Amino acid sequence: MLMNNHDNEFDSVIIGAGVLGLWAARQIICEGGSVCVLDRQRVGNGGSGGILGALMSHIPDGWNIKKEFQFQALDMLEGELETLSKDTGLSTGYRRCGRVMPLVHEGMKDHVESWLSGAETNWRGRHSMEYLESGNSWFLDTGWPLTANAPFGASIDTFAARCSPRKAVAALAAFVRYHGEIREGCEVSCVLPGQNKVTLSDGTAVSGREIIVANGVDAYRLLHPFMGPANDDKPLGRGVRGQAVMIEFAHDDTLPILYQDGTYIVPHENNYMAIGSTSHNVPLSELEEVHTQFDPLDMDFYHRAVKLAPGIKDAPIVERWAGIRPRNTLKGRGADPWFEKVPGHDNLIALIGGFKITFGIAHRAMDVARGRIEGPRRQKLNWVQ
């Protein structure tokens, strides 16, 4: 039975209007529940409001639970986004574009055979990976990258994809607003699972039979009171500051993502390309002091991209983005995402992290949290009970 949302009561209260919170809201709505999503700023304000949009799998050798989970999530994401677009009439900018990774030293070439074998086995014939020798006509035809920048050839796969993070978040938000509530400018000061409610900074409360914490780096503060003493009051995670740029560069939207050693060039629709990214750790104690304004002196990622694909050198930069992403650091869990019920509080769920892969797995987070599928890890967290 739905709770009476006229009295600020809902089946689910979700803290955070980013990609994790909005996918959770969509799933709950589709299952018949009432939802209120709270965000202290606005929809997609944090890491979910970026511009890169690379949806890439892990390298397919050394297969494990984490890689299998991400494979299944990425494999089904296309259908999920297609349905979302049909439901809302909004594009998410999705395309399964593939990925090319130039091999810049001989040691990388030694690994290619393992990659190809792993792709054939673990991607189960749904997607493929090939090896292109240096000087292959593909390089000459596309210039992506120049042959000189792939001296030992390249791997190319058909699995990687791209989407527009902002368009995807906007489509999710449109669906949730139509069927539920999103309240922007609402800062949650305290989570009270024992009372089935959260309190806001203005003193008001919003009640929910289920409370879902999905607000990125801000979640660490809200969840810390539930941590056990074995963690010595250490932070549950940290912020990671990232930057990216968008350029305008004419292309026919058939190019794959170009990736090499942390540098991404992601072709988007309408002759745009996103280039990123940086990763600089930011302690939680400094988050309030860190501004998400673009640092023009931190452009090494862009210069590496231009060296990798010189054809984009003169393309104008039309947007610069900087933001803070969450990175989990809980002992025993590392950077793996938390998609879990907090032990001792069956009505409190943590949906935090994933770092660079969050957009590709967010639609599966609630299924993991509710135990319907196996997630990256199912180890018990050391929460207060």
Running DSSP on this structure, what letter comes out for residue 374? -
Residue 111 CB neighbours (<10 A): 14
Q: CB–CB of 185/41 below 8 Å?
A: yes
The pLDDT score that the predictor gives to residue 7 is 65
Q: How far apart are the first and last CA of the chain?
A: 28
pLDDT tens string 66-102 = 899 999 999 999 999 999 999 999 999 999 999 999 9
One DSSP character per residue, 168-201 reads HHHHHHHHHHHHSEEEES--EEEEEGGGTEEEET
Q: How far apart are CA 164 and CA 91, in angstroms?
A: 9
- Does the model's pTM come out above 0.75? yes
CA distances from 285 to 131, 190, 231, 281, 289 (A): 46, 18, 17, 12, 8
DSSP 140-171: HHH-SS-GGG-TT-EEEES--EE--HHHHHHH
pLDDT at 58 over 50: yes
**pLDDT for the residue numbered 1:** 35
pLDDT in tens, 285-335: 787 777 778 999 999 999 999 999 999 999 999 999 999 999 988 766 667
At residue 375 the predicted structure's pLDDT band, cuts being 50, 70 and 90, is: confident
Would you place residue 149 in the very low, low, confident or very high pLDDT band (cuts 50, 70, 90)? Answer: confident
Closest to 265 measured CA to CA, from 19, 56, 112, 48: 56
CATH class of 94-160+237-328: alpha beta
Among residues of the chain, what percentage have pLDDT more than 90? 70
User: What is the pLDDT of the chain when averaged over all its residues?
Assistant: 90
Give residues with Cβ within 8 angstroms of 304, minimum separation 6.
Answer: 260, 261, 263
Give the integer Cα–Cα distance in Å for 261 and 278: 12
pLDDT at 282: 87
Q: Look up tokens 């297609």; give the residue.
A: 82
Mean pLDDT of 220-230: 78
Please state the rounded mean pLDDT for residues 27-51. Answer: 95
